[in-house]
Structure 1
Amino acid sequence: MKGYHSEEKISQTVHQSHIPFKNLKMRNDSELSDGELQEAFAKGLLKPGLNITQDKPKTTANNVEGMKQCLVEFRRNLPWVERLDMSNPPAADIVAKAEGKLATQDSGPINAEDDFQREMYFYRQAQASVLEALPQLLKLKIATKRPEDYFAEMAKTDQHMQKIRKKLIMKQTAMEKSEKAKKLREQRKYGKKVQTEVLQKRQKEKKAMMASVKNYQKGMTDKLDFLDGDQGKGKGKKGAGVTKAAMNKKGPNAKRKFKDQRFGFGGKKSGSKWNTKESHNDVSGFKAKVAHGKGGKKFGKGGKQKPNKRPGKDSRRKMKNRS
């Protein structure tokens, strides 16, 4: 610790008293234990005031002659154009004069802790240096402005820049080839996708055509629009398969119409054929021959009318195809 006798000095005192230092245990690797210090103090090994802070005065050396000698040794008598050093006060504060205020240095010392005052002081001092140095440079015929056709010297040679240019061109060409190959892969994927969609569309159309043919054979439709192919598709997709919903919207087919005409529409009847009291008592239309099976040749045994013979299967198929 600063200002205190070091542990090394205490250990030297212990060694002088012929006490083996290795027997003294260290605490925290930097200090002796309290018991060991008390034991050493009781034996007179530690002197009074050994652990009292000692403030030593700080000595400073201001060797002016030596500094002047060093300055003479490294000073070189170079012309001003090689040094370009300026030592001048800051320029006048034009803004303060225009506003009728005193400049900072006129109003008092500059506060070094004030950032704004300090920076403005540096700025005005740089202005004063420029105002003083420009006339001297012009007097020495040294240009202070860059000409319009000035080209900065390249840090690298033309050969090196040509190599860089070739590498950049090769990199750009490789990128273009990569982009072109990427586009071709995308086009191939898109072509395969379109081809798959076309095949699926054809299969769907074929399936719809077969469904339409089956519906026509079963008598569920009497339209042949599905035979038009693509021409029917342009007119609301008539070539597609006929569904029950579409058939209901278009109306009943021929088979349904025939059954409705023959058997009626179902539901409650109008009751026009029901007997009433008057029709029950009216016997003017009664014919005994018809009622008792004596109507002639068109009646067989039992007075029942012979039903029509049903045609065969081939005949029914031919009749169905003709319709």
Structure 2
Amino acid sequence: MEATEHDSQFGLSSEEKDSELSDGELQLAFTKGLLKPGLNVAQQEPKATVNNTEGLKQCLMEFQRNLPWIERLDLSNRPAVDIVAKAEGTLTVLDTEDINAEDDFQRELYFYRQAQAAVLEALPRLQRLKIATKRPEDYFAEMAKTDQHMQKIRKKLIMKRTAMEKSEKAKILREQRKYGKKVQIEVLQKRQKEKKAMISAVKKYQKGMTDKLDFLDIDQKKGKNEASMTKVPMNKKGPNAKRKFKDQKFGFGGKKRGSKWNTKESHNDVSGFKAKVAHGKGGKKFGREGKQKPNKRPGKDTRRRMKNSSR
């Protein structure tokens, strides 16, 4: 009754009543002096440990087997000596055994040197026991994974590599297309700009705002440049026969003006004069203009009759 009156007095719920230690019970224990101020922790007795040495020795004797070394192949040795450091008379960290376990390089080097020492000790012992230590050339070792599984892995790797190569090629093509489009846009913009400039210049000329026709010269020069760029150069070793004849007849290079004028010596030189050719009395017949008359071609009917008669 006192507990229920106390619970109703402090307004405790049914869940708090069912708990192991409710607030009301703790307050009652505190008022009675059962609880001390501070952290109250339940004290547990320490677990008793039994050091049964005889039992452990007996268990060790039960599973211990005196097997030969060839069946165990166990070695307990120190790391191999660094020959270079020994010759120089210096000591390394591994020789002093002052190794930092947190240093990955020192730790791995210690394992490596210890494995070297184990090999140097084990190989002579195996050779004395006449046990082969080299693998024969025709040795077949069964792999942990089957050939079919490795073939699948190989195919996947090849597919992955080909996919990467295709993606790289596609990337290069996309970049080339972007660059080509960019150049094309720049060329079109340049043409539109030149066209606008030409139209504005023509309008100014039509309105009488300017009397210069420089824009026509620019357009012609542009056309010539484009034609020269599109023209395929021909591989010529030298000038042709016609060019050589004209060069021989008229000359080339140097001073042009007045180079073919008559001089006193050329005027008095008549060694190349031929009267027959000059007056048209030679063997060849010349017309009024001094040209040889061409052979007159027979008419169409005449040629047809000649053709029929030859048949």
Structure 1 and Structure 2 fold alike (TM over 0.5) = no
TM range (shorter): 0.3 to 0.5
What's the TM-score, normalizing by structure 1? 0.39
Higher relative contact order (CA 8 A, sep 6+): 1
